[in-house]
Amino acid sequence: MPTLVPEEQRRFALEVVRRLRGAGFEAYWAGGCVRDQLIGRTPVDYDVATDAEPERIRALFGRRRTLAIGAAFGVISVIGPKPAGLVEVTTFRRDAAYSDGRHPDSVSFSTAAEDASRRDFTINGMFFDPIGQQVIDFVGGQKDLAARVVRAIGNARDRFAEDKLRMLRAVRFTAAFDFTLDEEARRAVAEMAAEIHAVSPERIAVEMRRLLADRSRAVGVRLLLETGLAAELLPEIVPRNDAGRRRFDETEKLLSQLGDGRGFPAALAALLAPWIDSVGATKVCRRWRLSNDERNRVCWLVKHRDALLKAAEMPWSKLQPLLVAEGIDDLLMLTAAATPAGTEAAAHCRRLLAQPPEVFDPPPLLTGDDLLAHGIPAGPRYKILLQRVRDAQLDRTLHTKEEALAMVEKIVGSG
């Protein structure tokens, strides 16, 4: 994906509204981008809401510059110049009943006021007219933004019953903006948390990813616990006694020390490591249908979470493979965040990592081809032999290919 330029995104989102207005339609910026701009954050993307129906939107912008991926729900993506990306243009709609606890059975086109009232939270339910520079607020979003409250539009219980994912969104937004969750919404989540399983594991994972990748992750996880969602989604980390509660406090501290720019696997590993081993972590990753790469990374981190603490005393042949592993940056960060001893151990490892490559990761003295050329029949022994040689090389008890071959001969001969 090309890099998006915020000013270009904004310019294009304005242009889309101009075109719709010029053709006689009503059109506003809507939802998250309005909220973000009002709290002084740069919107990640812009959504436009309009009374134009999907076919009219496509006709106006041209079929080649539009994608009708969500046309059944009245969503048309309009493709802008590269640095501007896409703007999703959505026809004002009203949702019919939700019988699966996640999706409306159907939608019908409607007015701006009705479109606002089908949105999830008041802070997400506002429109903005970028031409007249006016907020259009049918749901009291400005008041709640000022009071820093996440409040459902209408009755919280009803809104969460329609779409159970909103419970998790409530927690995520509350944490991300450092707001409070309105009391009624909080009670509703506490009562209905068990219904979160109506949401697909993949969708839960999307939401957990956003919650954990954000720097507010510690607050988010605490809220998951307090609302009862953690008991449903991650019973592994729910304290059952005082020792557990202390462990939760420590987990929270670890999460808050990860800082910015740490990805989801590192954050998930930090969340799980105090509670379960890598087998348990595998189960969590499978539960959320994470990719193999992510699962492997999370499990590797959980498995080695304490490995670097003894770095100063470890044989180089044990330490070096960890330091050359792909996930080392995350592991160092987890180690450094854990304890003062961890901070020191991580600093020690960073110094080792800064050595020149021929010292730090020298080419192997022997390869499989060398063993073959030396007349040793290929087989499962190869891996073990090469590992032995590599360990000895790293620990500097072997220095040349000849010494390595002599060692192999000794092992093979004596086996």
Q: Rounded to the nearest whole angstrom, what is the least distance from the CB of residue 326 to ligand ATP in the complex?
A: 29
Quick note: the x/- pattern for Mg ion over 17-36, rule CB under 5 A, is ---------------x----
Read out DSSP for 275-306?
T--HHHHHHHHHHTT--HHHHHHHHHHHHTTT
Query: Do 87 and 13 contact (CB within 8 A), yes or no?
Result: yes
Q: DSSP letter at 325?
A: S
Smallest separation (angstroms) from ligand ATP to the CB of 294: 20
Q: How far is the CB of 91 from Mg ion (least distance, A)?
A: 18
Q: Which is nearer to ligand ATP, 166 or 304 (CB)?
A: 166
Q: Which does 124 bind (CB under 5 to 8 A by kind): ligand ATP, Mg ion, none?
A: ligand ATP
Nearer Cβ to ligand ATP (139/319): 139
Nearer CB in complex with ligand ATP: 139/271:
139
Helix (H) or strand (E) holding 40: none
Q: For tokens 């192999």, name the residue.
A: 408
In the chain, what is the straight-line distance between the N-terminal and C-terminal CA atoms, in Å?
55
SS3 of residue 74 by DSSP: coil
Residue with Cβ nearer ligand ATP (117 or 317): 117
Please report how close the Cβ of residue 251 comes to ligand ATP at its closest, in angstroms: 24
C-beta closer to Mg ion: residue 30 or 52: 30
Q: Tell me which of Mg ion, ligand ATP, none is bound by residue 119, counting a contact when its beta carbon lies within the kind-specific cut-off of 5 to 8 angstroms.
A: ligand ATP
Where along the sequence are the contacts to ligand ATP (CB under 6 A)?
A: 31-32, 44, 47, 119-120, 124-125, 163, 165-166
Q: Which does 330 bind (CB under 5 to 8 A by kind): Mg ion, ligand ATP, none?
A: none
- The string over 213-230, giving b where at least 16 C-beta atoms fall within 10 Å of a residue's C-beta and e elsewhere, is bbbbbbbbbbbbbebbbb
Tokens found for residue 75: 């969503």
Considering the complex, what minimum distance in angstroms separates the CB of residue 127 from Mg ion? 15
Q: Which of 60, 40, 386 is nearest to 48 (CA)?
A: 60
Residues in the chain: 415
Interface residues toward Mg ion, by CB under 5 A: 32
